Amino acid sequence: MDLPYRRAGCGKPLVLVHGYLGGSAQWEAQMSALSGTHDVIAPDLPGFGQAAYMAGPSCIADFAAAVMGCLDRLGVDSFTLLGHSMGGMIVQEIAARHPGRLEALVLYGTGPLGLMPDRFEPVETSLARLDADGVQASADRISAMWFRNGTSAQGYVPIRDVARLANPDAARNALIAMRDWDGRPALQNFSMPCRIIWGDQDRSYRWPQPESLWRGIAGAELCVIPAASHAVHIEKPDLFNAVLRDFL
């Protein structure tokens, strides 16, 4: 599976993995800010963004394999790995399966349990509404939940437009993949440097999720961004980039 990707800069590889209804285009501010010091690689997950033409997996392990296949094709042997939201689940799976490949790990706006307790709506509700309303309406509604100011947020429209690209079957399969995934048993085995980034008004991953990561991964650093929701990298890109650069 040859995933499309965006790539910029030179230096140590930094791989950015987007989340549900996301795409590589959402990392524009990070690629611009970090490409002076890093080889920044942002794949599009199968079924989303530039890869919307691809079939979407229904398990997190298959998403992880697709990302690793992309990196292998590019000849990238070791790297720092950042995952956002569902992408955070994917990079946890990669860390569990390929720990020797990771220089460091950034878990952003994510958690170790795919059921996402206390999410703005249960995964089963998202599945039902996707079936009833279609992918575009679901993309519009869910994207709004990622911002403190909803549809009036400055970054909402471009993120919504990326979300609308999703393959409808892939959007459904990804919800199933998240629902059925549990990464908690692997956390105790993570030994690479790790930073957890979380916006304190995140409605997708409430505090118990990043707290479980922080307490479950030995030596993990926790950075809580105040007055920010699920899309900190869009709402407060300069602050997010500073937090990321400090860790790198």
Backbone angles phi, psi at 213, to 5 degrees: -65, -50
Instruction: Read off the DSSP letter of residue 205.
Output: S
Instruction: Read off the DSSP letter of residue 153.
Output: S
**Domains identified in the chain and CATH numbers:** 5-247 (3.40.50.1820)
Handedness of CA 26, 32, 37, 43 (dihedral sign): positive
Per-residue confidence (pLDDT) for residue 240, from 0 to 100:
98
Counting as low any pLDDT under 70, the low residues of the chain are: none
Per-residue confidence (pLDDT) for residue 118, from 0 to 100:
87
Per-residue confidence (pLDDT) for residue 116, from 0 to 100:
84
Token duo for residue 144: 């709004």
51 in Cβ contact with 44 (< 8 Å) = yes
- Whole-number Å distance between alpha carbons of 215 and 153: 32
Per-residue confidence (pLDDT) for residue 46, from 0 to 100:
98
